[in-house]
Amino acid sequence: MSMPVDLLAIAAHRDDVELTCGGLLLKALDQGYRTAILDLTAGESGTRGSAELRAREADAAAAILGVAERRNAGLSDAHLMNDNASRKVVVEAIRHFAPRVVILPFPVGRHPDHRVASELGRDACYLAGLAKYPAAGAAHRPFKVLYSLSYREDPVKPSFLVDISAQFDRKLAAIKCYGSQFDGAKSAGEIFPTGQDLYSRVETQNGYYGSLIRTRYAEPYYTHETVLLDDVVKLGVQSM
């Protein structure tokens, strides 16, 4: 039985969603939308912690983010592949959640799992809409695919920024659930190392994006499609 949500975030590892789009998930929750997370792997190959510990941390973070469900696809950490077997798993999850919007990592990055997660997620979004595709669940194709831009290799200018000033403290609290990964860390994978602790770096990064739209904190996103605007009179961010 499907459990429709408005927004589904798909990422390679437990903690990726919190770092990249946790603020948007919280903002959507505050706006009355249903959200969910699909972690593709258990993070069993990570240098720090263990899959079991990260599962408990992910549950704690999910409670802060207020997601309707957090599911793990059980694919192999550090060996993620965009193959038929993996597509079927992700297609079934997309059909289960039936989201209107899917958030994926941007398809450029140093971690192979992040790159593959982006390709795998996009392909699965399309295949999930094919009525004859051999996977469980009713055919469903998400309306919109967004890419989170929070890694130093992201090579494009954001299509838009989301003000998360009212959500930032909760986003940081969700990230801090992953003490096994981040306590004392000076960087997190592809998150820019600056000599700051990881938590300060997240604040610096989101503060930078916030400054671009004259708010305290923001997150960057990219979409391949041109963004539609209905009312230019209501455009935000003063020009001069």
Q: Which amino acid is at 89?
A: V
Question: pLDDT grade, residue 187 (50/70/90)?
Answer: low
Residue closest to 175 by CA, chosen among 22, 32, 46: 22
Q: How far is CA 45 from CA 12, 185, 210, 230, in A?
A: 12, 18, 34, 46
Q: How far is CA 73 from CA 92, 127, 170, in A?
A: 10, 17, 25
Rounded to an integer, the average pLDDT of 57-69 is 97
* Residue 232: per-residue pLDDT: 92
What's the pLDDT tens digit per position in 74-93? 999 889 999 999 999 999 99
Provide the whole-model pTM.
Answer: 0.92
C-alpha atoms less than 13 angstroms from C-alpha of 203 in its C-beta half-sphere: 10
* Residue 195: per-residue pLDDT: 66
Angle at 148 between CA 145 and CA 152, to 5 degrees: 145
Question: pLDDT grade, residue 183 (50/70/90)?
Answer: confident
* Residue 181: per-residue pLDDT: 81
Which tokens go with 172? Answer: 């940081």
Rounded to the nearest angstrom, the gap between the alpha carbon of residue 23 and the centroid of all alpha carbons in its chain is: 10
Mean pLDDT of the chain: 91
Q: Which CATH class is domain 7-234?
A: alpha beta
Q: Which residues contact 219 (CB under 8 A, 6 or more apart)?
A: 20, 21, 23, 24, 148, 150, 161, 162, 164, 206, 209
* Residue 2: per-residue pLDDT: 55
What's the pLDDT tens digit per position in 137-170? 999 999 999 999 977 655 789 999 999 999 999 9
What's the pLDDT tens digit per position in 211-231? 999 999 999 999 999 999 999
Rounded to an integer, the average pLDDT of 3-14 is 94
Sequence spans of domains, the chain: 7-234
84: left (phi over 0), alpha (psi -120 to 50) or beta: alpha
